[in-house]
């Protein structure tokens, strides 16, 4: 049962990170509190982490069913 719960929760975190990285409201808040360079770096890291989490969770789910 845990072999399914953990990868699914990782996939949910990945989608949250990807949604957050594409959010204009979040970007504007980051620019307001910091500078544009910092906001760009944060969004880039969120996208990279989101894609890595999504790929790893899909591989984990696929390995459970094979």
Would you list the domain boundaries of the chain?
2-65
What local confidence, expressed as pLDDT, does residue 66 receive? 81
What is the per-residue pLDDT across 9-51, written as a single tens digit (0 to 9) for each? Answer: 999 999 999 999 999 999 999 999 999 999 999 999 999 999 9
Predicted structure pTM score: 0.87
What local confidence, expressed as pLDDT, does residue 3 receive? 84
What local confidence, expressed as pLDDT, does residue 1 receive? 81
User: 53: exposed, middle or buried (C-beta count within 10 Å: 0-12, 13-18, 19+)?
Assistant: buried
CA–CA gap between residue 18 and residue 55 (Å, rounded): 13
Contact 4, 44 (CB under 8 A): no
pLDDT band at 53 (very low <50, low <70, confident <90, very high): very high
What local confidence, expressed as pLDDT, does residue 28 receive? 96
- Enumerate residues 6+ apart whose C-beta is below 8 A from 18: 46, 47, 50, 51, 54
């Amino acid at each position: 049962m845990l072999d399914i719960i953990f990868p699914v929760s990782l996939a949910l975190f990945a989608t949250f990170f990807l949604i957050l990285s594409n959010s204009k409201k979040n970007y504007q808040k980051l620019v307001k509190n910091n500078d544009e360079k910092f906001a760009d770096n944060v969004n880039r890291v969120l996208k990279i982490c989101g894609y890595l989490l999504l790929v790893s969770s899909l591989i984990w789910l696929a390995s459970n069913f094979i």
